[in-house]
């Protein structure tokens, strides 16, 4: 992903053939390329839509908050570490965790 400006991000896909690697590795990577990241991707289309929506939201006069609520309340905290609850593959716990850490750093005594 290449940020070109505050409101423009270019996503590109590069495909490599690894020297000496078996052919199935190349084929597998190629299937991933075609399905997930090609300019006609079935998968990444949702992510790109999210980027667009986040940008639209931030540049609008709407709310100042970005929601990281997905699966909130199901996070598991163990020894000060937040973990994603089981069967919550798309939990936004990592983002919540990141923001929590950022708040801690920003408010820590000098």
Partner 1 sequence: MAKKKAPKKKAVRRVNGRDTQHEVEQFLYRQAEVLDGKRWQEFIDLFADDGVYWMPPEPSHTTWDGMPAIFAEDKNLMTVRMKRVLHPDAWSQRPLWGTNHVVGNVVIEKESATGDVVARSRFHMMELRRDDVRHFAGSYVHHLKKTRDGYRIKLQRVDMTNAQAAFDYVLQVWV
Q: Which lies closer to partner 1 via its Cβ, residue 26 or residue 83?
A: 26
Shortest Å, Cβ 105 to partner 1? 34
Rule CB under 8 A: say whether 97 interacts with partner 1. Answer: no
Three-class DSSP labels, 52-95: HHHHHHHHCCCCCCCCCCCCCCCCEEECCEEECCCCCCCCCHHH
Rule CB under 8 A: say whether 21 interacts with partner 1. Answer: no
Give the side-chain half-sphere CA count within 13 A for 52: 7
Contacts with partner 1 by CB under 8 A lie at: 10, 13, 15, 26-27, 30, 33-34, 38-42, 44-46, 48-50, 52
């Amino acid at each position: 992903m290449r940020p070109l400006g505050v409101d423009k991000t270019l996503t590109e896909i590069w495909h490599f053939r690894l020297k000496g690697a078996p052919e199935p590795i190349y084929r597998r990577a190629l299937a991933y390329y075609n399905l997930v990241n090609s300019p006609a991707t079935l998968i990444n289309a949702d992510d790109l839509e999210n980027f667009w929506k986040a940008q639209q939201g931030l540049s609008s006069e709407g709310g100042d908050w970005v929601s990281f609520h997905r699966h909130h309340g199901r996070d598991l905290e163990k020894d000060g570490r937040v973990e994603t609850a089981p069967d919550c593959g798309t939990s936004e716990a990592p983002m919540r965790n990141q923001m929590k850490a950022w708040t801690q750093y920003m408010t820590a005594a000098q």
